Amino acid sequence: MDAIVGLGDSYAAGVGSPDPDGLCWRSRSAYPIQVGTALGRDVVLNACLGATIADVLANQLDSLSADTPLVTITVGGNDAGFAQVLTRCALPAWMGDSDDVLDEAAWVIRDVLPERLRSLYAAVRAKAPNARLIVAGYPRLWDRPEDCNLATFFSPHEIGRMNQAADELAIVIGAAARDSGADFLDVRSAFTGQGVCERVEWIRGVSWPVEESFHPAPLGHRAYARAVLDSYGRRETAGIPAKPSVRYGVDCRGSAPTFRLPDLLSGRSLRGAKAHGLDTDEVAALGERVRQPQPDPAAHDRLRELDAQVRATR
């Protein structure tokens, strides 16, 4: 099969674009499909929501062959706990601290991820020995240490550490890709000025459905496609189909969890509020008022005040 094959996680599957399909949330706006359309090549999109490196190895490589001309990959974020980190950092201060999960993510990126990535790239090479292998990394989520979203409580410290993790992830993925003879696309600069809470977001903030939160918006997926096409040289070959076809791979959702909003009405929230001297009735009432899809901005402003009050005591 001489189709382009798109491997990886939700960033490669197109999550954050309209009309997600199946358990994997694949979209026709996913960057591998945009690349195939531009090159006039058929595409097999195997990338999937929640996919880890192990999931890619188990479920996404069957479409590869000696005839595969191009393989794109974006994966590794879920191995580092992408959703778990976001979920913990989004909590208000009275529900706990996030440094432990951030520390664990940094350890995985530094000490675990390199060998996993090299093993994956070697497996891809073995099944598609003649393919061009393009590995696309991840952007920073924020340009400024400011959380503008309702119902989340990311602190400047947490935003800074998450951006630092994105930088470390780029270094590790880039080194593993180059060691394997693959092209690495560092997309951080392309997304600069277009992060969460910027005037034009290429990375979504809190979104509905919530699975789309902190994923590329359509403009972000387009930026990924441009980066791949620029790297590939937009080369076309004789005999390309006039209307490229798109086929989805096995619809087997990845093993990693997805982002969850804080549950301000949970026992954990109310116990934490009480332990920090907050009025639990007020916290519960405010929590009701910020429940989506119609959050009350004034209630969230008050919750931010309580969050800052608790953080100031640490």
The predicted-structure confidence for 251-279, as pLDDT tens digits, reads as follows 999 999 999 999 999 999 999 999 999 99
Does residue 283 sit in the same domain as residue 184? no
> Which parts of the chain fold into alpha helices (H)?
10-13, 31-39, 53-59, 82-89, 99-107, 113-127, 156-179, 188-191, 218-232, 267-275, 280-289, 297-312
Q: What is the pLDDT of residue 238?
A: 46
Q: Is residue 252 part of a domain?
A: no
Task: Find the catalytic residue in 215, 221, 269, 300.
Answer: 215
Q: Is residue 253 part of a domain?
A: no
* Known catalytic residue at 215: yes
Per-residue pLDDT of the chain (314 residues; tens, 9 = 90+): 689 999 999 999 999 998 899 999 999 999 999 999 999 999 999 999 999 999 999 999 999 999 999 999 999 999 999 999 999 999 999 999 999 999 999 999 999 999 999 999 999 999 999 999 999 999 999 999 999 998 899 999 999 999 999 999 999 999 999 999 999 999 999 999 999 999 999 999 999 899 999 999 999 999 999 999 999 986 544 455 557 899 999 999 999 999 999 999 999 999 999 999 999 999 999 999 988 667 789 999 999 999 999 999 87
The residue type found at 27 is S
Does residue 41 sit in the same domain as residue 128? yes
| Residue at token pair 């990338």 | 47
C-alpha to C-alpha distance for 65 and 179, rounded to whole angstroms = 22
Q: Is residue 69 part of a domain?
A: yes
Q: Could you read off the pLDDT of 95-141 as tens digits, one per residue?
A: 999 999 999 999 999 999 999 999 999 999 999 999 999 999 999 99
Q: Whole-structure pTM over 0.85, yes or no?
A: yes
C-alpha to C-alpha distance for 262 and 87, rounded to whole angstroms = 7
Last residue of a domain, one of 200, 216, 246: 246
Last residue of a domain, one of 246, 276, 291: 246
Q: What is the pLDDT of residue 242?
A: 57
In three-state secondary structure terms, 71 is strand
Does residue 55 sit in the same domain as residue 182? yes
Mean pLDDT of the chain: 94
Does residue 37 sit in the same domain as residue 123? yes
Q: What is the pLDDT of residue 292?
A: 64
Task: Spell out the residues 6+ positions from residue 124 whose beta carbon is closer than 8 angstroms to its own.
Answer: 7, 61, 64, 71, 73, 131, 133
Q: Are 94 and 269 in contact (CB under 8 A)?
A: yes
CATH code where residue 70 lies: 3.40.50.1110
Q: Is residue 256 part of a domain?
A: no
Q: Is residue 257 part of a domain?
A: no
Does residue 54 sit in the same domain as residue 200? yes
The residue type found at 246 is V
* Known catalytic residue at 10: yes
Count: domains in the chain: 2
Task: Find the catalytic residue in 10, 27, 98, 213.
Answer: 10
Last residue of a domain, one of 246, 279, 294: 246
Q: Is residue 54 part of a domain?
A: yes
Does residue 82 sit in the same domain as residue 226? yes
Does residue 167 sit in the same domain as residue 285? no
Peptide bond between residue 209 and the one before it cis (omega within 30 degrees of 0): yes
Q: Is residue 260 part of a domain?
A: no
C-alpha to C-alpha distance for 219 and 187, rounded to whole angstroms = 13
Does residue 181 sit in the same domain as residue 233? yes
Does residue 297 sit in the same domain as residue 171? no
Q: What is the pLDDT of residue 146?
A: 93
Q: Is residue 259 part of a domain?
A: no
Domain assignment of residue 286, given as a range:
267-312
Does residue 274 sit in the same domain as residue 132? no
Does residue 196 sit in the same domain as residue 292? no
Q: Work out whether strand 43-45 and strand 70-74 pair parallel, antiparallel, or are unpaired.
A: unpaired
The sheet with strand 246-248 has its strands ordered as 183-185, 132-136, 70-74, 4-8, 43-45, 246-248
Does residue 70 sit in the same domain as residue 151? yes
